[in-house]
Amino acid sequence: MILTLVKRLWLIPVMFVGWELLAGALATPFLPGPTLIVSRMYEMWFSGPYIFTEEAAHHFLPSLIRVVGSWAIAVVVGVGLGVAIGRTPWLADIVEPLIEFGRAVPPPVMLPIFLVLFQIGPQVQIATIVFGIVWPILLNSIDGARNLDMLKVETAAVFGVPAHLRFLRIILPAAAPKIFAGLRLSVSLALILMVISELKASTEGFGYLLNMAVSAADMPAIWANVVLLGVLGFAFNSLFLTVERRVLSWHRHAYRLA
């Protein structure tokens, strides 16, 4: 276990040492070294009586709730509609032009529209994140539900297997690898859109902290926010991969046998 972890993460300390040496050689305020950044992170967020400072608790929790909640909404909408569209040809013919149009619209472009509709508040961030991340989930769900082994579905229908069991036991498991591919793309995209939406449409959160650091020209704080977001993205992706490996263990086994 430890050896595997070392093999995966050995490049990180090497990179930080190189970064520290480069920052010392350049001696520019625009590229602080990792030690200064970590010190600033500790001062701002991790020096409170219960580890987190009041500032960290005020800004981190709302961002995490928004990004997880928005992702959950997008999963329900994207998977539900995607499977329905993928299994219903006439519905696909109607909505696919709208889907192609919607996915071509850059999510940040919708931010001013959501600001007009909802004013400043969590609704703006949630709408921006959901709009941006629902497309990879939706498209992969459509593709997964459409490209099934029809022999299994038809055989189950002939033997009188109820529709809900066909969906749960045949259609959903067969589409799951594609669905999870879309979900994985949406995780990193959700973090990006969280920051973008909080830069201009929030009074709290990671994006707001980054905006304040930029306004104050506080380069260590700017880099501290960037590093923290990178760590958060890595943690979310690792957690998702752990869940994916467990849920799709049957698929990996079948792929090896094939």
Sequential DSSP letters for 166-178 = HIIIIIHHHHHHH
Residues 6+ apart with CB under 8 A from 150: none
pLDDT in tens, 148-206: 777 777 777 777 777 777 777 888 888 888 999 899 989 989 999 998 888 876 788 88
- Total-model pTM: 0.86
Closest residue by Cα to residue 178 from 224, 138, 121: 138
How many Cβ atoms from other residues are within 10 Å of residue 257's Cβ? 6
Do 200 and 241 contact (CB within 8 A), yes or no? no
Tell me: pLDDT of 110 over 80: yes
Average pLDDT along the chain = 85
- 45 token code pair: 């967020």
Q: How confident is the model at residue 82 (pLDDT cuts 50, 70, 90)?
A: very high
DSSP H helix total and E strand total for the chain? 13, 0
